[in-house]
Amino acid sequence: MSNDNEVPGSMVIVAQGPDDQYAYEVPPIDSAAVAGNMFGDLIQRDIYLQKNIYYPVRSIFEQGTKEKKEINKKVSDQVDGLLKQITQGKREATRQERVDVMSAVLHKMESDLEGYK
């Protein structure tokens, strides 16, 4: 859509209606304002996405990782404590003793979690 009266640097906005097509010529000064508004809208959208989606989701994942580390540390500490009791600190625990203790600790944790349901 070319217009003989079009001012250099102007922007033509074409809108499609249900039955017709409309063209609006925006003068150069307004063109910069429209482009600036579009850029500003993009920045606002990015800020909105960061505040309302990216940061909350990231914090959920970080929280899950933090909780998982705490649980692993708790299990490890419990297993080490029980193995020290079994071996009375005088010998290295056998593989089977480690498996049995780990299984018992995990079973206890599962039963504790069922109490929260």
Q: What is the pLDDT along the chain (117 residues), one digit of tens a residue?
A: 455 555 566 667 677 666 777 776 666 665 566 666 666 777 777 777 777 777 777 777 777 777 777 877 887 888 888 888 888 878 888 888 888 888 888 777 777 767 655
Cβ-Cβ contacts under 8 Å for 52 (sequence gap 6 or more): none
pTM over 0.75: no
The model's pLDDT over 18-36, given as tens digits with 9 standing for 90+, comes to 677 777 666 666 556 666 6
**What are the helix (H) ranges across 10-88?**
28-49, 55-87
**pLDDT for residue 18:** 66
Q: Report the distance separating Cα 19 and Cα 114, nearest Å.
A: 63
**pLDDT for residue 49:** 76
Give whole-number Cα distances, 68 to 28, 53, 64, 73, 91, in Å: 58, 23, 6, 9, 30
Q: Report the distance separating Cα 114 and Cα 117, nearest Å.
A: 5
